[in-house]
Amino acid sequence: MERCRELLEELKKAYGREVMTFHIETFGCQMNARDSEKLMGILEQMGYREESSEDADFVLYNTCTVRENANLRVYGRLGQLGAYKRKRPEMMIALCGCMMQEKEVVEKIKKSYRQVDLIFGTHNIFKLAELVYTCLEERRKEAKARAAQKGFKGHMVVDVWEDTSQIVEDLPVERKYPFKSGVNIMFGCNNFCSYCIVPYVRGRERSRKPEEILKEVRKLAADGVVEIMLLGQNVNSYGKNLDTPMTFARLLEEVEQIDGIERIRFMTSHPKDLSQDLINVIARSKKICRHLHLPLQSGSTRVLKAMNRHYTKEQFLELAARIKEAVPEISLTTDLIVGFPGETEEDFEETMDVVRKVGFDSAFTFIYSKRTGTPAAAMENQIPEETVKSRFDRLLKEVQDIAAQLSGRDAGTIQEVLVEEVNGHSQTLMTGRLSNNAIVHFPGDSSMIGKLIKVYLEESRGFYYMGKIAEQAE
Ligand code: SAH
Ligand code: SF4
Ligand code: F3S
């Protein structure tokens, strides 16, 4: 780290610059968002300053590969970056994240995107300082060669690890919000849903030790964080591989004890591992938010089996009913995939049926995307595009209609809002979220950001509420 800072200083002088800047663009899920905060922490410690645009000296894309269009976006953006770089040759371009764990992707970039300076993967983000150092050295050689009027082109630095059992603790972190934070409780995934690439790019499931998690949460609380989101691909299987196994429900109870933390969220819950014990803990808790993201994927038992999800339509319906009975005010959201290989019209109708029966407050709907190396990619009966598109449109409409019917059910009540930011459109309006994740706008000022404020929900306007601070409303 020290050597890195010195080298950066040297380059600043060589380029005649006051500061060297970085910009990180994050694609994909909460895991990547949290990784980016760690990458940011490391770059800040090295002496780089953040810059909001791609005009920076060091541009890093933290990529996602869960669906093919995620990859296509990155290639498109890389083309643009190449043009920037031709204007500013000292610029450095780096790629990391899930897409880089795929060998074919790295080969393609090496061949066709020579503007890239650095590639690393999901398992070695803690090595960022060292990797940037190597790149900067290449730059130094380049600068020297240029001064001596010799041609020299720095090498592309590539360091991608296949998998790791290593968990590196205590990395520096630069949080996006001062008052809320994600906390990784586990990494990787062992579920191998047949359509999903995540287990291949994020490696095997490994849980952090509870004492490390609790230490981090205590530190965050001392730092002013009031809301945390516990992160894992399947939080319900937390702790199974620890030396002293521990359940997710127990971990939640421990986190609940920490003073200063007012709200606890978590993501994602696999239906197959959601225990009654966990439901009871949520029901009893004062801090666990009234929102559960419970990915259904498909409503057809036959398709669920082919997806390797390990639950049936009936089991999902029964689980959703049990959750709603124990926590009636809970908001349930989900993920749905349309057009999985072999999905018939009847299978699709089963999905529509579950959507109608459960009543999700919102749902992410995805068109099935073939991911190389996953079992589903090799399945026969891939569904024609037009059929999938028509099903997707029908599902989206159903999901939106139901969400619209369910929205606004808290209008006329007083609820606690965690104030997140000044509203984009009006400086006198603040925007925050209810425990169930619904958005609320109300008149206030920026001193309220990061605080929990009681708000009277005057009116529902589709997907958000307009409110008033409760004292004023009374
Ligand atoms: N671990 C989480 C989700 C990770 S990926 C879970 O199990 O729910 C987020 C979502 O992307 C998934 O829930 C799924 O709906 C969707 N997804 C994953 N792979 C996909 C693929 N090949 N095609 C379309 N959608 C996919
Ligand atoms: Fe993918 Fe399934 Fe793991 Fe989620 S649980 S990350 S969908 S393999
Ligand atoms: Fe994408 Fe990787 Fe997350 S593939 S969805 S960023 S785990």
pLDDT at 2: 83
Nearest ligand to residue 30 Cα? 3
Alpha carbon of 297 to ligand 3 centroid (Å): 16
Token pair 């082109």: residue: 153
| Range 377-391 average pLDDT | 95
- pLDDT number for residue 427: 82
Q: 22-26, 134-138, 304-308: which range is least confident on average?
A: 134-138
Does residue 309 have its Cβ closer than 6 Å to ligand 2? no
Give the pLDDT of residue 459. 95
Tokens representing 387 are 């059929």
- Residues 403-424 have pLDDT tens digits of 999 999 999 999 999 999 999 8
Q: Give mean pLDDT, residues 93-120.
A: 96
How far apart are the CA of 66 and the centre of ligand 1, in A? Answer: 7
Residue 205 CA to residue 236 CA, distance in Å, equals 12
Mutational test site, ligand 2, from 189, 305, 368, max ligand atoms within 8 Å of CB: 189
Tell me: the pLDDT tens digits for 65-79? 999 999 999 999 999
How high is the pLDDT of residue 13?
A: 86
Residue 228 Cα to ligand 2 middle (Å): 22
Instruction: Write the residue with the smallest CA distance to atom 5 of ligand 2.
Output: 191
pLDDT in tens, 27-45: 999 999 999 999 999 999 9
224 three-class SS? coil
| Residue 152: predicted pLDDT | 66
- The per-residue pLDDT for 164 is 80
Per-residue model confidence (pLDDT) at position 382: 92
Relative to beta strand 452-461, strand 464-469 is antiparallel
pLDDT per residue over 280-331, tens digit each? Answer: 999 999 999 999 999 999 999 999 999 999 999 999 999 999 999 999 999 9
Per-residue tokens: 301: 């038992």
Annotated domain spans of the chain: 1-159, 180-407, 413-472
**In which residue are the tokens 């066709």 written?**
112
As a whole number of angstroms, the distance between CA 116 and CA 204 comes to 29
Cα separations (Å) of 33 from 64, 74, 272?
11, 16, 26
Could you read off the pLDDT of 328-355 as tens digits, one per residue? 999 999 999 999 999 999 999 999 999 9
User: Quick count: other Cβ atoms within 10 Å of Cβ 390?
Assistant: 12
Do 213 and 199 form a contact (C-beta atoms < 8 A)? no
Number of the ligand closest to the Cα of 296:
1
Binding site residue list for [4Fe-4S] cluster: 29, 64, 98, 189, 193, 196
pLDDT of residue 351: 98
Closest residue to atom 1 of ligand 3, CA basis: 64
3-state SS class at 23: strand
- For residue 196, the CA-to-ligand 1 centroid distance in Å is 6
The model's confidence at residue 376, banded by pLDDT at 50, 70 and 90, is very high
DSSP 428: T
- Beta strands in 64-193, from DSSP E residues, in sequence order: 92-97, 118-120, 157-159, 180-184, 186-187
The number of the ligand 1 atom at minimal distance from the alpha carbon of 376 is 22
pLDDT of residue 149: 76
CA terminus-to-terminus distance, the chain = 56
pLDDT class of 472 with cuts at 50, 70, 90: low
Residue 10, pLDDT score: 86
Residue 18 pLDDT greater than 60, yes or no: yes
pLDDT (tens digit, 9 = 90+) per residue, 224-246?
999 999 999 999 999 999 999 99
Cα 173 to ligand 2 centroid, rounded to whole Å: 26
Which bound ligand lies closest to the C-alpha atom of 297?
Answer: 1
Mutational test site, ligand 1, from 266, 366, 367, max ligand atoms within 8 Å of CB: 366
CATH topology of domain 413-472: OB fold (Dihydrolipoamide Acetyltransferase, E2P) (2.40.50)
424, two tokens: 């984009």
Fold classification of 1-159 is Rossmann fold (3.40.50)
Of the pLDDT bands very low, low, confident and very high (cuts 50, 70, 90), residue 139 is confident
CA distances from 119 to 22, 53, 59, 63, 221 (A): 16, 20, 12, 11, 34
Cα(278) to centroid of ligand 1, in Å? 23
Q: Phi, psi (5° rounding) for residue 465?
A: -110, 150
| pLDDT tens, position by position, 189-217 | 999 999 999 999 999 999 999 999 999 99
For 327-358, the DSSP string reads: STTPEEEEEEEE--TT--HHHHHHHHHHHHHH
pLDDT at residue 473 tops 80: no
Class of domain 180-407: alpha beta
**Best substitution site from 122, 186, 198, 204 to test ligand 2's pocket, by max atoms within 8 Å of Cβ?**
198
pLDDT of residue 184: 97
Q: Is the pLDDT of residue 443 over 80?
A: yes
